[in-house]
Amino acid sequence: MKKTTLPINLSQEEIKQFCQRHSICKLSLFGSVLRDDFTRESDVDVLVEFEQGKTPGLAIITMEDELSNIINRQIDLRTAADLSRYFREQVLAEAIVIYEQN
């Protein structure tokens, strides 16, 4: 079951700047951060979609660290292609969009 309010504090401006710096056109949250089983120890699952032709390769690791510092939590950064085909559609359907490029 999705929560209507998130259990973490997000600065919309910092998220927007992060996305613009890294050519992210859409950033969404999924997983336990949206459910009742989210705890103090839980990481935050983040789904990103990059601008066409801007996929970062291994730089995604430094992006994870940067976003972890912004959110003050461990981050698991994924693209839709990274997700298992067994639960990809469910994740995409349940994810909550935090930033989307105009």
Task: Give whole-number Cα distances, 26 to 12, 29, 37, 38, in Å.
Answer: 13, 10, 25, 23
* Tokens 């983040």, residue located: 46
In a domain, 6, yes or no: no
Range of lowest pLDDT (14-18, 53-57, 78-82): 53-57
Confidence band for 2, pLDDT divided at 50, 70 and 90: low
In a domain, 1, yes or no: no
In a domain, 83, yes or no: yes
Nearest to 90 by CA among 102, 99, 80, 98: 80
Domains held by the chain: number: 1
Please give the residue range of the domain that contains residue 81. 12-100
Residues 38-64 have a mean pLDDT of 93
In a domain, 26, yes or no: yes
Whether 1 has a pLDDT exceeding 70, the answer reads no
Percentage of the chain exceeding pLDDT 70 = 96
Q: How far apart are CA 100 and CA 84, in angstroms?
A: 23
CATH for 29: 3.30.460.10
